[in-house]
Amino acid sequence: MDITMFDSRQYLHSEGASDLSLRSVGSSEIHMYCTSVRLSREVVRYLHKTLSADERERAKRFHRQRDQSVSIVSRGILRLILSSYTGTAPGQLTFKYGANGKPALNDHAIYFNVSHSNDLVAYAIAREQRIGVDIEYRRHFSEMMPITEGFFSDSECGEISQLESDEEVNAFFDVWTRKEAYVKALGCGLTMPLNSFTVSIAARSKELTLKSSVDPDLSSRWSLHNWHISEHYSGAIAIFGKGWIPVPISMSGIESRFAIDLSQPI
């Protein structure tokens, strides 16, 4: 079906989109979006127009054109998504930043987080709760075991060391994304040692666990969810509180999902 996606003053339309994206995110829902960063030049130029001056300057600091494009696309799509919940045009949204640089919307109760890896960018949206998302493209690399030993807890290292090579790679990135999602939800950057807490390694559990010897109530206060994007990616979402319902919303390529009218004001 054809439905209007981003308010009636429309610069965007969506075909086959979930009705969920037309209204506020439910009080117990996590809305999950994932799409490719490889878009046409026309769409990238459109998204660039939605950015603030500091976001454009940040993109320009990248030396490679691909990295500039990724910066523009990931932030531009974020603005489009947030526009659908706030009713504010993408280019008019404003952000504030925490002590470690985590962005948040000004004057809105929508919380969000963003992660990019390889060709994909992922977004997690919730209402009035701290949230973090992380995705990683799975691949073997020479520093994997030193990082495991330096940044993972003893129990995580022990479990991973017992796995076969392919399983070891998948487990490494599953654990890494789960830890990063939690740290990103806290907004504490690199100030929290990743080996100070433990996450469950179970490959496809619906809800995972967080444990800490210095904070025995950690798992009762936080939810950690696996996000199965594809066999080539690991993904996780961390959010404060319990009883959350992850709701994936399809974005199978922004150009096939959205028909952007480049002649309309932003």
Residue-wise pLDDT for 170-196, tens only, equals 999 999 999 999 999 999 877 889 999
Sign of CA dihedral 166, 167, 173, 174: positive
- CATH number reported for the structural domain that contains residue 178 in this entry: 3.90.470.20
70-81 pLDDT tens trace: 999 999 999 999
Are 144 and 234 contained in the same domain?
yes
174 occurs within a structural domain: yes
Percent over 70 (pLDDT), the chain: 84
15 occurs within a structural domain: no
141 occurs within a structural domain: yes
Count of structural domains, the chain: 2
Q: What is the C-alpha separation between 154 and 176, in angstroms, rounded?
A: 14
Domain coverage including residue 220: 137-240
Q: Residue range 132-149: average pLDDT?
A: 95
Are 169 and 94 contained in the same domain?
no
Are 151 and 120 contained in the same domain?
no
162 occurs within a structural domain: yes
Q: Answer with the residue of higher pLDDT: 255 or 87.
A: 87
259 occurs within a structural domain: no
- Joined tokens for residue 125: 């949206």
51 occurs within a structural domain: yes
Q: Residue range 75-95: average pLDDT?
A: 92
In the prediction, which pLDDT does 10 show? Answer: 29
Helix, strand, coil percentages (3-state) for the chain, rounded to 5, are 35, 25, 35
Are 109 and 174 contained in the same domain?
no
Phi, psi (deg, nearest 5) at residue 103: -80, 155
In the prediction, which pLDDT does 191 show? Answer: 85
Are 187 and 114 contained in the same domain?
no
pLDDT above 70 (res 8): no
Element (H, E) at 126: strand 120-127
In the prediction, which pLDDT does 205 show? Answer: 59
181 occurs within a structural domain: yes
96 occurs within a structural domain: yes
